[in-house]
Amino acid sequence: MSKKLLLITLIAISSIYSNAQVAATIDFGQVKQIIDGFGVSTAWHGTISEKEADIAFGNSTSEQLGLNILRVRIDPSSSNWVTEKMNAAKAKSRGALILATPWTPPAYMKTNNNAVGGELLPTQYVAYAEHLKDFCKYLGNVDVVSLQNEPNITVGYESCTWSAAQMLEFCKTNAPAIGKPVMAPEAYNFAYSTSDPILNDPIACANIQYVGGHLYGTTTRSYPLAVTKGKKLWMTEFAYNPDSIGTCMTMAKDILDCLNGNMNAFVYWYLRQPGCNIINTDGTLKLKGYTLAQFSKFIRPGYYRVSATYQPNSKIYLVAFKGSTQDVLVAVNQNTVAKTQVYNFKNMNIMSASKFVTSDTKRLTNTETITATNNSFTDNLDARSITTYVIKRTPSAINETPVADINIFPNPAEDFIQLSTTDNVKSVNIFNLQGQKIQIFNNLVIPTLDISSLQCGTYVIQVSLINGAEKRMKFFKK
């Protein structure tokens, strides 16, 4: 062989190896965090229409987002609460959770007697807790209440500044008086310096159930301290512009990063307001709306993230989730050309996958159903695209009940709580936080459990399966 031919051959071999795609491994035996869902805010929107509520929280057509969290604004004046009450009612009737967030306490409670800036007077802590409680009582359907939007920055619009020490003191002393599960601190740039003191204080930590934060001014990262303390992690505000495929590639990657970083929920900023919005005034979805829908329509509340190769190849990222009867895989290809990706599955028998794509030319398009062979399939990812695979298991896998697939909802609950399935469930026990067994359910026929006799507080539910497996979950009784 001549030197020239040898060089050409080596270059060709090198090219083959450099373009070879690494397979992604999805392991359903390694279960991560539970998913609470995806949402949007109606702060300063005015009243949303029934059509807009259907688009946001419906999930029966490709033009509906399938969201299940609504973030409403707590106006400092109780005379202005009616608008968000109507918005919350529309969302709640379509199955959504309600997160209530204040941008400021009433001006008279603050050091500067103004809705902009200033701090909450220590002498008004009790009154402020009552103010938040009154809002929740007026709406009647709030699931989570935040103490303050972005307490760690100074801005020229409705706001209030809290130091970490002030937030800690309020959580220790006043948070329980609100009577709802509490989120703190919804920090700008998800600043851990604002929430670490709360999590490291046993009393304050016990008084909050959620840690919220925003992605402005930061990059998404995991928060091990919050996870080890058993707190739900919600990203509660971020926005993207313009409405282009380049923007959507960034947006999709951020959502993936949040989910891969053990977050339980992702809440977008505006639904319909001009700028940053995901739907138009005529109700049609923007490209950003379709991007969010690639996640929210398919990854449903109560699903669990499972282990998956996060970046199997250059500019390709993916996350995977286990549901009760089906599973979901979302892949983002940021490359400007199409790429081939191999998916190998472990600890679950895979039969096929329905494929949905959003790209520069496609809008949540159901392109094909892919048949799996030996628990694996290969697919082509469109250039700059988000691809969601809805995975169908083999019948034998569907008839099994993995312990990770047993979920409860709603959480928080009032008089009743429901299991996601009663298949293979032997018994259900409820314990208080002192470990005392206070309720027993045997021979379940329906998945609904009557908990009306429980007092308000946090409990542990233990679900025992016929095969001897058990699962324990915390829930909050309102």
- Would you please indicate which residues are annotated as catalytic (active-site) residues? 150, 237
Quickly count: other Cβ atoms within 10 Å of residue 451's Cβ.
18
- Asked if residues 264 and 225 have their Cβ atoms less than 8 Å apart, the reply is no
Query: Which residues are registered as beta bridge partners of 27?
Result: 307, 346
If you write DSSP's letter for every residue of 18-58 in order, what string do you get? HHPPPPEEEEEEEEEEEP-EEEEE-TT--PPPHHHHHHHH-
Residues 6+ apart with CB under 8 A from 400: 424
Query: 60-70 in b/e burial notation, b at 16+ Cβ within 10 A?
Result: eeebbbbbbbb
CB-CB neighbours of 152 under 10 Å? 20
Looking at residue 124, the DSSP 8-state letter turns out to be G
The total of other beta-carbon atoms located within 10 Å of residue 191's CB is 19
The Cα 64–Cα 309 span in angstroms is 30
**Cα 382 from Cα 337, distance rounded (Å):** 7
Q: Is 152 helix (H, G, I), strand (E, B) or coil?
A: coil
